[in-house]
Amino acid sequence: MPEGDVLRRVARRLTAALADLPLMRSELRWPGASGIDLVGRTSLGTVSYGKHLLTRFDDGRTVHSHLRMDGRWLVHRTRMPPQPFGRPLVRAVLATERWTCVGDELGMLEVVRTRDERRLLGHLGPDLMADDPDLARAAENLRGQGGRAVGAVLLDQSVAAGIGTIYLAETLWRHRISPWRPASGVEDPESVYGTAAALMRQSADAPTLTATGHRERPTPVHGRAGLLCHRCGSMIAVAPVGDPPYERPAFHCPACQPD
């Protein structure tokens, strides 16, 4: 599932594509939203919160979308006559006279009043991609998780929003913390979340997505099972973290990150 860095880049792209001009095409192909027409409305921009996207319009409404595992927003130049998008998994088409944004395989789509956005996001922890993320609250939330494996806690969006398996692995490797260490045994959780936030921001702002900001070595640990650890030379391993059926792969160095 895309993580906070990806969502930030998608939000920026949607903001740029839909800026300044009113919609000339609006198709929302989702139960509960299919009858809503946004033609004539102008986007005020798209923001991300964790793994959620909020596209706001000048009439006080917001299109809320979530990519889940396979979703994506594609941007094309608008064609005249309008290009048909008949693929069954196209969930949204929003177009100005310049650009057309196509929501393909979206995992969630709804329209809410902008003032009600908090109702959608209230169950989430602080957004780690915020300009000034509330790391203290994220750390406090983590401390309240007791004996849960810290890897599972980092993936829990109700604790802090934005981290997935990539930044779980990269963050804990940098802090030499095992993904299975109890959350209560993490000495400086604010620093842990600070690292995750910094890595995601680096990637969001880099010319291409990376987990580190460096093209030559994008991920020291994630996706490198069976290869040697850049730090100690031991073999990188991967094993599930979290409770079934929600366990996720945790890449780690058993030597650098002891339990």
3 is catalytic: yes
Q: Inter-axis angle of helices 4-18 and 189-205, to 10 degrees?
A: 40
Query: What CATH number does domain 135-252 carry, 1.20.1250.20, 3.30.70.260, 1.10.8.50, 2.130.10.30?
Result: 1.10.8.50
Band (pLDDT 50/70/90 cuts) for residue 214 is: low
Secondary-structure class of domain 4-121 per CATH: alpha beta
Q: What is the mean pLDDT of the chain?
A: 95
- Please state the rounded mean pLDDT for residues 62-68: 97
Q: Is 79 a catalytic residue?
A: no
Q: Cα–Cα distance between 184 and 232 in angstroms, integer?
A: 26
Q: Considering 8, 9, 51, 91, which one is annotated as catalytic?
A: 51
Q: pLDDT, tens digit, for every residue of 134-181?
A: 999 999 999 999 999 999 999 999 999 999 999 999 999 999 999 999
Own/partner contacts of 210-218, CB < 8 Å, gap of 24 or more, are 211/166, 211/167, 211/170, 212/170
pLDDT in tens, 77-110: 999 888 889 888 999 999 999 999 999 999 999 9
Predicted pLDDT of residue 192? 98
The pLDDT tens digits for 7-47 are: 999 999 999 999 999 999 999 999 999 999 999 999 999 99
In the chain, domain spans = 4-121, 135-252
Residue 255 DSSP class: T
Summarised one tens digit per residue, pLDDT across range 234-252 is 999 999 999 888 899 999 9
Those residues with Cβ within 8 angstroms of residue 18's Cβ, 6 or more apart along the chain or in another chain: 43, 46, 55, 94, 96, 99, 101
Is 248 labeled as catalytic in the residue annotation?
A: yes
Q: Does the annotation mark 2 as catalytic?
A: yes
Q: Do domains 4-121 and 135-252 have the same CATH topology?
A: no
* Antiparallel, parallel or unpaired: β 108-113 and 52-57: unpaired
Catalytic residue among 12, 182, 248, 254: 248
Burial pattern 148-166, b for ≥16 Cβ within 10 A else e, equals bbbbbbbbbbebbbbbbbb
Predicted local confidence at residue 213, as pLDDT: 58
